Amino acid sequence: MRMGKKKLSKRYRKALEQVNLNKRYSLDDGVEVLGKFPKANFDETVELAFHLGVDPRQSDQMVRGTVGLPHGSGKPVRVVVFAKSGSGAEPAREAGADYVGFEDLIQQCSDGWTDFDVAIATPDAMVEVRKLGKILGPRGLMPNPRTGTVTDDTAKAVKEFKAGRVEFKLDKTANIHVPIGKVSFAADQVKENAKAVVDAIVKARPSGAKGNYIVSSAISTTMSPPVIMDVKQLLASL
């Protein structure tokens, strides 16, 4: 891969000295390499990325879902719940939702407010929430039954996302990026979260997918170069 003329930071150059970009690492070795990278002045996110052998243009090859991370994501999750009074609203509040509402919340979002990480809606609320598609959709915030964010059991959904359930979704270039923790996590915590994500991606394989499903994978931190994973070893680690 050509790096172009973009100037690399001193920290990034030092990180490059710790990784062989032509090597395919096992999960254990990949996480070990991450631990050798120079640390930033904030708690970086650790991310697992995949390139899949599917065609994002085909509806029967879409890959999307959620996965509960055994050790959480390390990130505070702001959850909003669209629910009519008496229909999931109170359970959502009691479960710790940051914002709960219906018409008022819909209007707030219509005015451009999207200062949250997860949006949950009851099925009856979706009739109106669907109108926010142009606002929430591009930001990946639109409630969807496939991700567990359209449900009558709002309390359960709020608790799961607060505890570290993360969403994954195929992009237009057949890639998926999933946060799996923080640099401050212990190595075993990162590895266990990574295995949970890989398992979820494997189980989400669409019926329309043919041939090699997970083409490549890499693990990285917010400010680091990628550590390319050995896909066969990654799958064997499950």
pLDDT at 6: 56
Binned at pLDDT 50, 70 and 90, residue 91 comes out as very high
- Residue 12 near residue 147, CB atoms below 8 Å: no
Specify the pLDDT at position 146.
87
Q: CATH fold of 20-72+166-236, please?
A: Ribulose 1,5 Bisphosphate Carboxylase/Oxygenase (3.30.190)
Domain with CATH 3.40.50.790 in the chain: 79-162
The 10s digit of each residue's pLDDT in 14-41 is 999 999 999 999 999 999 999 999 999 9
The CATH 3.30.190.20 domain(s) of the chain lie at 20-72+166-236
Q: Cite the DSSP H helix spans in the chain.
A: 10-16, 27-36, 89-95, 103-110, 126-129, 133-136, 154-163, 187-203, 231-236
Percent of the chain whose pLDDT exceeds 90 = 87
pLDDT at 95 > cutoff 60: yes
Q: Is the pLDDT of residue 4 over 70?
A: no
Enumerate helices (H) and strands (E) in the chain, giving the number of each.
9, 9
List Cβ neighbours of 172 (8 Å cut-off, separation of 6 or more).
Answer: 56
Residues 183-203: what's their mean pLDDT?
97
Instruction: Enter the CATH code of domain 79-162.
Output: 3.40.50.790
69/147 Cα distance (integer angstroms):
14
Average pLDDT over residues 2-11: 65
Q: Under 8 Å CB-to-CB from 44, ≥6 apart: which residues?
A: 182, 183, 221, 222, 223, 224
Mean per-residue pLDDT of the chain = 93
Question: How much is the pLDDT for 201?
Answer: 96
Query: Above 80 in pLDDT, residue 64?
Result: yes
